[in-house]
Structure 1
Amino acid sequence: MATGQPVEVYLDLLSQPCRAVHILLDCAGIPHKVRTVALRRGENRTPDFTKLNPMQKVPVMVDNGFVLTESDAILKYLATRYDVPDHWYPQQPEKRAKVDEYTAWHHSNTRPHAAKVFILEVLLPAHTGSQVDEGRLIRALSQLDETLDKLESMFLRRQSFLCGHDITVADLLAVCELMQPLGGGRDVLQGRPQLQSWRSRVQEAVGDAFDRAHAVLYSLRDRRKAKL
């Protein structure tokens, strides 16, 4: 079901959850308007944005005055509210529960562990001018490896996507997190053919929407390569 005016989304595409929302909107053809909030410039701390989201985080969605602030909730709302293919967030209870199972697990596993690698390799050195703390990075990569093992053994197993044989919002959340370390030139799926094949299937399923959402991340990677 569509509404009269485009959905407004406040995004910074260097943010992993923002990219997941962007891909769903783009891929599903939901009319929307992107309002960019540059975190690196502190635009999330302005009075106007703070009124919209007191937590000062992106993404934020506004749909005919209805405000929603968490990526997981935004993705599921969009898939439920708009006329998108059922596979994104299935109505069938068992299939939907499998998506909810992954997204609940995601926030204390895939998200923090992949993000920490990016923070240690890219953000902290950029903000402080210091060298990468190799000890902390090794520990973070070890934690991420445990998460990747579970993605393979618990979620993918013998199926094409994390929650079954069709792509869902769970795959968008996961793939955007696992792409993030690429901003520092690190492909965390290297040497993991099962996960690499999954990522390729996700890219194929969403088409050009994937590269459009990740253009800013690719640009960061290329700028860092040029400096080396």
Structure 2
Amino acid sequence: MATGRFVEVYLDLLSQPCRAVHILLACAKVPHRVRTVALRKGEHRTPEFTKLNPMQKVPVMVDNGFVLTESDAILKYLANRYDVPEHWYPRQPERRARVDEYTAWHHTNTRPHAAKVFFLEVLAPRMSGSPVDEDRLSRALSDLSTTLDLLQSMFLRRQPFLCGDDITVADLLAVCELMQPLGGGRDVLRDRPQLQRWRSRVQSAVGESFDAAHAVVYALRDRSKAKL
């Protein structure tokens, strides 16, 4: 990489995919600058940001004029473009295919199901001023439980990480989603020791960047506990 060159990333760490990008950048030591886009303040709807990403979503990456959206694409681009340790997105075809297999599955399983629990338990009551819709939450938790069963039986099996013996971008995407309900005081892995051990391995593998990325989630959790 050329001296003095930085990747610019537009993030809000309340967003699960943004946290995954943030962690990879920190772990891989890719020189970067973070531009905070506060979703709660509507900064993703400003004319300036809409010009950058007409979909009005984060994360967004700008690398030497090349603009890229979608966390999955950004993570894989960074792994391909920069001197990132190969385990994040392996070059060997079968190992890479396992990562692609999970990330394809992720967007219709782990991501929507964990996010819906957080939405129903935290965001919807704040936006509407109404109590939690317990029926909808119960259904969302059931859907998430099915996803967690599959994470254990299909992806983890007897291996330490979702796609093999080493941490990959798949683990970052998954763990950031499954940490999100903690913002409402709910640890969705509480009764799942296999997944708890996986989360601990991910946290150990990425070090301080895990807690740095999830500070906003911990703050929400502490506020929710204070209300009880």
Give the TM-score band, short-chain normalised: over 0.9
Q: What is the alpha-carbon distance in structure 2 between the residues aligned to residue 224 and residue 206 of structure 1?
A: 27
Alignment of 1:132-211 (within 5 A): 132-211=132-211
Alignment of 1:1-228 (within 5 A): 1=1, 4-228=4-228
1:54-78 Cα deviation digits (max 9, x unpaired):
0000000000000001000000000
Counterpart residue identity of residue 201, structure 1:
R
Identity, in percent, stands at: 82
Q: What is the alpha-carbon distance in structure 2 between the residues aligned to residue 163 and residue 4 of structure 1?
A: 34
Give the CA RMSD over aligned residues.
0.8
1:8-58 Cα deviation digits (max 9, x unpaired):
000000000000000000111000000000000000000000000000000
- Listed as ranges, the gaps of 5+ residues in structure 1 are none
Q: Per-residue deviation at 1:226?
A: 1.4
Q: What is the alpha-carbon distance in structure 1 between the residues aligned to residue 224 and residue 3 of structure 2?
A: 42
Q: TM-score, normalised by structure 1?
A: 0.99
Q: Per-residue deviation at 1:220?
A: 1.1
Counterpart residue identity of residue 21, structure 1:
V
Which SS does the other structure have where 1:10 is aligned? Answer: strand
Runs of 4+ with >3 A deviation: 1-4
Counterpart residue identity of residue 129, structure 1:
G
Counterpart residue identity of residue 222, structure 2:
D
Counterpart residue identity of residue 45, structure 2:
R
Which SS does the other structure have where 1:97 is aligned? Answer: helix
Which SS does the other structure have where 1:9 is aligned? Answer: strand
Q: What is the alpha-carbon distance in structure 2 between the residues aligned to residue 69 and residue 135 of structure 1?
A: 35
Which SS does the other structure have where 2:77 is aligned? Answer: helix
CA contact (8 A) 1:7 1:64 kept: yes
Q: What is the alpha-carbon distance in structure 2 between the residues aligned to residue 222 and residue 6 of structure 1?
A: 34
CA contact (8 A) 1:2 1:81 kept: no
- Listed as ranges, the gaps of 5+ residues in structure 2 are none
Q: Per-residue deviation at 1:4?
A: 4.5
Q: What is the alpha-carbon distance in structure 2 between the residues aligned to residue 2 and residue 198 of structure 1?
A: 36
CA contact (8 A) 1:189 1:196 kept: yes
Which SS does the other structure have where 1:67 is aligned? Answer: strand
Which SS does the other structure have where 2:90 is aligned? Answer: coil
Q: What is the alpha-carbon distance in structure 2 between the residues aligned to residue 69 and residue 217 of structure 1?
A: 23
Which SS does the other structure have where 2:8 is aligned? Answer: strand
Q: Per-residue deviation at 1:227?
A: 2.1
CA contact (8 A) 1:181 1:188 kept: yes
Q: What is the alpha-carbon distance in structure 2 between the residues aligned to residue 42 and residue 48 of structure 1?
A: 12
Q: What is the alpha-carbon distance in structure 2 between the residues aligned to residue 131 and residue 149 of structure 1?
A: 29
| Cα distance change, pair 2–177 in 1 and its aligned pair in 2 (3 A) | farther
Q: What is the alpha-carbon distance in structure 2 between the residues aligned to residue 184 and residue 53 of structure 1?
A: 29
| Cα distance change, pair 150–2 in 1 and its aligned pair in 2 (3 A) | farther
CA contact (8 A) 1:2 1:82 kept: no
Counterpart residue identity of residue 227, structure 2:
K
Which SS does the other structure have where 2:161 is aligned? Answer: coil
